[in-house]
């Protein structure tokens, strides 16, 4: 015969372990229910926050697109306004009889075109602040070739490393090239049947750049001092080289050699 001993609740008559199990199930159910409510509330908060973040992202996207559109539209309008000014100067040019005044107007037109071309490239390339310099130099040379009527057959050799410059650097850079090439067309090959111009842009480390413009023309007069000359073109080149925190050298070397060295480190150029 086997004897079984079972603890029984005196009030209910149920075994104590059954009552304990029921209580445990009730407590566990309450805990799970409360945790479920908290989880559901947290999930609702996360969903609401995600909706707000998505809405904010759409807002930022719209703001960014509007800003980009405004910048592009500004570039386009600046270019158009400069082109209009160039056209007005061209009209004024036809009414001038004084050769010096006519040359001054032409020089101004060329400088304005160099600036206008920067904004044209920005608009055409859908770039907000940088332009491709090798392509810019090539198009600027094509323009100046058409503008100057010289008897000599001039061969241009252009060699540049890939380079993109911010608009704040590209404008003074373009003006320096415009002055240098304009002087070559006006003075370098007087009385010559042909000539050559070598233009290179080199860099050793992607930050320090060296622009070299060299012709094999008649060269500078023996008495000419480029650092004491007070002509507007040379003063402009010197001032612009300082603006880009660069150094400018002009010397005789079987023609004229111009060297501009500057640092492309992302900093804004200095004021003149």
CB 113 within 8 A of CB 122: no
Higher pLDDT, 238 or 41: 238
Q: What is residue 223's predicted lDDT score, i.e. its pLDDT?
A: 77
* Bigger pLDDT: 47 vs 13: 47
pLDDT digits (tens, 9 = 90+) for 130-139: 889 999 999 9
Range of the domain at 92: 65-263
Three-state SS for the chain is CCCCCCCECCCCCCEHHHHHHHHHHHHHHHHHHHHHHHHHHHHHHHHHHHHHHHHHHHHHHHHHHHHHHHHHHHHHHHHHHHHHHHHHHHHHHHCCCCHHHHHHHHHHHHHHHHHHHHHHHHHHCCCCCEEEHHHHHHHHHHHHHHHCCCCCEEEEEEEECCCEEEHHHHHHHHHHHHHHHHHHHHHHCCCCCEEEEEEEEEECCCCEEEEEEEECCCCCCCCCCCCCCCCHHHHHHHHHHHHCCCEEEEEECCCEEEEEEEECCCCCCCCC
Residue-wise pLDDT for 161-185, tens only, equals 888 888 888 999 999 999 999 999 9
As for how many domains the chain has, the answer is 1
Domain membership of residue 14 (yes or no) is no
CA 166 to chain centroid, in Å, comes to 4
Q: What percent of the chain has pLDDT over 70?
A: 84
What pLDDT, on a 0 to 100 scale, did the predictor assign at position 125?
Answer: 74
Joined tokens for residue 71: 């910048």
Is residue 174 in some structural domain? Answer: yes
The answer to the question of residue 8 being in a domain is no
Contact by Cβ (8 Å): 173, 133: yes
- pLDDT, residue 1, reads 46
**Residue 40 scores a pLDDT above 50:** yes
| Per-residue pLDDT, 205 | 79
Tell me the pLDDT tens digit for each residue of 100-126: 899 899 999 999 999 999 988 888 776
Angular region, 190: left φ>0, alpha ψ -120 to 50, beta rest: beta
Give the domain CATH number at 223. 3.30.565.10
Q: What is the reported pLDDT for 230?
A: 66
> Is there a domain that residue 223 lies in?
yes
**Averaged pLDDT for residues 50-54:** 80
Q: Mean pLDDT throughout 195-212?
A: 89
Average confidence score pLDDT of the chain: 82
Decide if 7 is inside a domain. Answer: no
Asked whether residue 47 is assigned to any structural domain, the reply reads no
Q: Read off the pLDDT band of 141 (50, 70, 90).
A: very high
Task: Report yes or no on 36 lying in a domain.
Answer: no
Asked if the structure places residue 5 within a domain, the reply is: no
pLDDT band with cut points at 50, 70 and 90 for residue 272: very low
């Amino acid at each position: 015969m086997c004897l079984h001993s079972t603890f029984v609740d005196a009030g209910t008559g149920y075994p104590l372990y059954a009552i304990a199990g029921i209580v445990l199930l009730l407590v566990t159910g309450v805990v799970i229910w409360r945790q479920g409510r908290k989880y559901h509330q947290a999930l609702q908060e996360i969903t609401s926050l995600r909706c707000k973040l998505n809405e904010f992202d759409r807002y930022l996207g719209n703001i960014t697109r509007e800003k980009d559109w405004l910048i592009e539209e500004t570039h386009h309008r600046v270019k158009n306004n400069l082109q209009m000014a160039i056209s007005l100067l061209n009209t004024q040019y036809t009414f001038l009889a004084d050769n010096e005044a006519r040359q001054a107007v032409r020089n101004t037109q060329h400088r304005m075109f160099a600036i206008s071309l920067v904004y044209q490239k920005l608009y055409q390339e859908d770039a907000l602040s940088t332009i491709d310099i090798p392509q810019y130099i090539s198009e600027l040379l094509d323009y100046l070739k058409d503008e100057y009527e010289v008897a000599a057959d001039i061969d241009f050799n252009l060699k540049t490393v890939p380079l993109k410059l911010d608009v704040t650097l590209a404008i003074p850079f373009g003006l320096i090239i415009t002055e240098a090439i304009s002087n070559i067309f006006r003075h370098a090959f007087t009385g010559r049947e042909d000539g050559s111009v070598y233009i290179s842009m080199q860099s050793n480390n992607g930050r320090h750049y060296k622009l070299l413009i060299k012709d094999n023309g008649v060269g500078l007069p023996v008495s000419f001092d480029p650092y004491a000359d007070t002509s507007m073109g040379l003063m402009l080149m010197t001032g612009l080289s300082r603006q880009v925190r660069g150094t400018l050298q002009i010397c005789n070397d079987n023609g004229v050699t111009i060297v501009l060295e500057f640092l492309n480190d992302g900093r804004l150029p200095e004021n003149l």
